[in-house]
Chains A and B, each alone.
Chain A
């Protein structure tokens, strides 16, 4: 994956397959501590200890359509290539949390990329789920919450192209406001 945002899109798909109702994406964009940390947290079915161990194995997948599962392993590889760390926490029946920590100024750290596009793609394709996206920098924090958006929209569905365009722009502008780094 060329962008961290694409990893986020990918890992969030795992959450959706695990029947999550709420997916949280957290980015700690911390230049002071030279840390770029991404977490994807869901309230899906979760995994037992044994499955967590297997999950990062590229030759393990819960799918039947193919024999490899590269999503988590590629994210892990990317983090470790940048002297970062990778961690999966999960509990059956409670959900999962995937955290990848990068050295902010590491030469090999992929750019964040089109995070607004990724968040809105998830929202558009899964209107019945809720998503929270938190992005914190040393200058402030921005929180996007679909629950609030849906409240504003009332009966208008969240998955309409007009709403998608507007919300994408809104996230982009707010990220500029808090001085987010790519």
Chain B
């Protein structure tokens, strides 16, 4: 039977990440990276925000896009959950609604990589999420 993973074996991963981190030159300057906030309150969680967030983390990593994915509270658009706020470097934040895996893929391919807006933007007159 294979050995159960333990903290002692974490060192291998640590070394791997360390060598990768040297290549990620912007990791010290979050404002130069794509920033994604996934709304993760009751409404978001019930609509699948966990899957959306996991997908975004994996996809950015897979495509080697330098991005920070974090979570935030409810933005008040419970009807459109899961919602995400995407901030491209040097741009105003944009909120997208109904972001399932498919929509998340579209957001990455079209908005993050090309800067083109897509359907599903929640027009807002706010600056950023407070909490």
A interface residue numbers (CB < 8 A to B): 1, 6, 9-10, 13, 17, 63, 65-66, 69-71, 74, 114, 117-118, 121, 124-126, 148-149, 152-156, 160-164, 166-167, 169-170, 173-174, 176-177
Contacts and interface: CB of A to CB of B under 8 A. Distances in A.
B5 interface: yes
Contacts of A153: 10, 14
Interface string B26-56: 0000000000000011110110001001100
A149 B58 CA distance: 21
Contacts, number: 98
Nearest to A166: B13
A10 B71 CA distance: 12
A151 B76 CA distance: 38
B42 A69 contact: yes
Contacts of A161: 57-58, 60-61
Contacts of A10: 41-42, 45
A126 B71 CA distance: 8
Interface stretch (B15-23, B85-93, B95-103, B108-116): B15-23
Contacts of A170: 4-7
Report the 10 A-B pairs with minimum CB-CB distance, sorted nearest first. Answer: A65-B76, A170-B5, A161-B61, A125-B71, A71-B42, A173-B4, A166-B13, A152-B10, A156-B14, A70-B42
B11 A152 contact: yes
Interface residues of B, number: 35
B42 A148 contact: no
Contacts of B41: 10, 13, 63, 71
Contacts of A6: 45-46, 50
A15 B11 CA distance: 31
A66 B78 contact: yes
A125 B46 contact: no
B129 to A, nearest CB: 9
Given A66-B74, A66-B76, A170-B5, A124 B45 contact: no
Nearest to A149: B7
A98 to B, nearest CB: 14
